[in-house]
A and B are shown apart, each in its own frame.
Chain A
């Protein structure tokens, strides 16, 4: 194929067809994306952790959150170092896990 006829072909009818094809593909992709947006919704609760501290020896302990935990509560767990009762100093989450993608 001569270069001039190739350019002619690209610049002629084929180019128009390709343009239309791209346009239609763009519209279809847009519609499909909108449909998928409506369907995708993942809801995962964040992983909560409770930080306990010993008021006697200041030993810190981090464990998974349990129902009924709140900051300032005196826990029924004892310090591994001095056997003193632990208090809940903090409850927090590691990186968020709620996404809608």
Chain B
């Protein structure tokens, strides 16, 4: 003990050093793989839960369980091939066409399984299937890279996977929380724009101006308001771009302002339900509707104002939080201020409440 080191201690001391010198990377890879396996197990549980919930909902709606299983597998594996963009001229119309076909196909598939389903319920089921498909895709893609890394012994692939895993899990949990809302047809955070529009519509009469998109006419301090929202209470986002285009064409030179209201992803540290104002088309998605609104606004030189209500991805796809609901009145106050500041009496204003109208009628 007095300072002399035995040969055994020397071996114990140097063995780890030699081990990490030659096998350090492999050891690190095994540790990373172990962690990824844990996450994959959790993802597998999430997708199975989502599948079971969807199957239960389908069978509760009247589908035979065997048909529901086959139909669900079919829908979960649907893919969409976007148009070729080497010659981008006219690509928006092509993308819109492909997306319309996809949308119709999914709805038809749901209605084939449950023929007596009402349109709103069919829309909600389609949303449920899409959330389940998102979890299925996340699981399959991560499993693919995990198995590929394992098969090729590629530590860099495994480490990259380990690094993004926590972010992917946040997204997966968001889709998981969407399952309950879509299953019950409850309003989600993304529907905040639609809720603002509904509150502004009050009890005014609505008409369908574009596919699954409603418009209502209202008055505010001598101005005519045309309020647009997706038709509810079924889960759909409608075609606000098409609706705005038609309204501008119908009310040529009278429309002096467009105000768009939508939910937007918040940065970490920002509060849920924070409101921000800006300019431009506040609308997500692949870009078709955004393109149409921007095109019309620039052609007729109509100022385009936007109000966003901040929320995380999980808040956007799960049952609407109280904080978001409470922001509605302030958003309406801000819209009114924008209208007062930018228009005169007898002018027309288009207000587009963007978002999924699940659980929100008109």
Contacts and interface: CB of A to CB of B under 8 A. Distances in A.
A73 B187 CA distance: 13
A48 B49 contact: no
A98 interface: yes
A70 B31 contact: no
Contact of A71 (B1, B233, B319): B233
Nearest to B49: A43
A71 B37 contact: no
Nearest to B15: A20
B85 interface: no
A71 B42 contact: no
Interface string B316-350: 00111110110000000000000000000000000
Contacts of A71: 187, 195, 198, 232-233, 359-361
A23 B325 contact: no
A41 B322 contact: no
Contacts of A39: 41
A29 to B, nearest CB: 12
Contacts of A23: 16
A43 B176 contact: yes
Interface string B166-192: 000100010011001000111100000
Interface in A24-52: 27, 30-31, 34-41, 43, 45-46, 48, 51
Given A8-B1, A100-B173, A13 B6 contact: yes
A12 B3 contact: yes
A93 B322 contact: yes
Contacts of B1: 5, 8-9, 12-13
Interface residues on B, range: 35 or more
B176 A70 contact: no
Please indicate which of the listed interface residues B12, B31, B184 has the most CB atoms of chain A within 10 Å of its own CB: B184
Nearest to A43: B49
Contacts, number: 117
Contacts of A20: 12, 16
Contacts of B173: 98, 100
Contact of B42 (A12, A30, A96, A100): A100
Please indicate which of the listed interface residues B35, B45, B177, B319 has the most CB atoms of chain A within 10 Å of its own CB: B319
Contacts of B176: 43, 98
A3 interface: no
Interface of B: 1-3, 5-6, 9, 12-13, 16, 31, 34-35, 37-42, 45-46, 49, 169, 173, 176-177, 180, 184-187, 195, 198, 203, 232-233, 314, 318-322, 324-325, 359-362
26 contacts: A8-B1, A12-B1, A12-B3, A13-B9, A16-B12, A34-B38, A35-B38, A38-B39, A41-B42, A43-B49, A46-B180, A48-B184, A70-B232, A70-B233, A72-B232, A72-B361, A72-B362, A90-B320, A91-B186, A91-B320, A92-B187, A93-B320, A94-B322, A98-B176, A98-B318, A100-B42
